[in-house]
Amino acid sequence: MWDIWTRAELLATGMTKRALAAAVQQGELVRARRDNYLSRDAPPSLIQAVRVGGRLGCLSLLAVLGVFVFEDTGLHVHMERGDSRMRSAESRRRPLPGRAGRKRLVLHWHRFIAEPGRGTVAVIDALVQAVRCQQPRHAIATLDSAVQKRVIAREQLAEVFAALPQRFAVLRELVDERAQSGPETLVRLMLARLGCDVDLQVFFAGVGYVDLLVDGWLVIECDSRLHHGSWTQQLKDYRRDRALAKLGYCVLRLAAEDTLYDEDEVFATLRTLMHSPRWRR
């Protein structure tokens, strides 16, 4: 994914010792630790993982790849068993030195499923770790995202679940890569708990695709500030809603922030709406 070079490898390309020192001094290369160099555009989390002596993995690697994860507040690093820098699991919460000290260090020790990179675990291993590290609903959202973004193929889910304890098997049938965002997956799972019939990414002529169609009458759109913050986009949304109303559909817009951090309130809203005698008629 990202290149990590040893001093010998850089010198073998024709770079002199003086040029190597200058590249580090000027910030063209980053010396993460002894005999480990990365380019300056390497993700900061990868640099820190190499610096502490491990490989970037779990939520931290997936976040760098653009896969949805819920609250990546720690630096997730895979360590080799017997590593002299991190001898025991008691080091899991050790704060990182320097600028990374605000992130707690979360260590992983599981045996590799796939061949790792020099500074990262394989994506399959990262997904296995992420399922273990998150609540089940968030793990499903991560798997949805990974398949939707083609970070893995759907067929590779078999490898992920084969490496997990049997208790996680029930999650596999809930993966639906049609979801375009983590909040969309979370809303879908809430509706499933309510016994609703849910379809994803439904196309309406003159409108386009909508996030969720529930019980054939309610359209739910999961909005984020990133994609719906401008007045131009909001005006477009209003016109889409009006077109859907003209077709006989009701529209509910949910903010991604509420879906992520106020799930109980969002679920209560959906339960009241879906069980209301007024709407059931």
What does the alpha-carbon distance between residue 249 and residue 192 come to, in Å, rounded to a whole number?
20
pLDDT for 87 beyond 60: no
Same domain for 142 and 198, yes or no, is no
Does 129 share its domain with 238?
no
Q: Report the distance separating Cα 32 and Cα 52, nearest Å.
A: 9
Average pLDDT taken over every residue of the chain: 89
pLDDT above 70 covers what percent of the chain? Answer: 89
Domain boundary among 144, 174, 204: 174
Give the CA angle between residues 8, 9, 14 to the nearest 5°.
95
* 190 & 170 share domain: no
> Please, are residues 69 and 61 in contact by the beta-carbon 8 Å criterion?
no
Confidence category of residue 232, pLDDT binned at 50, 70, 90: confident
> How large is the average pLDDT for residues 74-94?
61
Pairing assessment for the beta strands 36-39 and 4-5 based on DSSP bridges: antiparallel
Which domain range does residue 221 map to?
Answer: 182-280
3-class DSSP state of 72? coil
- Secondary structure of residue 199 in the 3-state scheme: strand
Please state the pTM of the whole predicted model: 0.88
Residue 197 CB contacts under 8 Å (≥ 6 apart), including other chains? 214, 215, 216
C-alpha–C-alpha distance, residues 124 and 122, integer Å = 5
Domains contained in the chain, number: 2
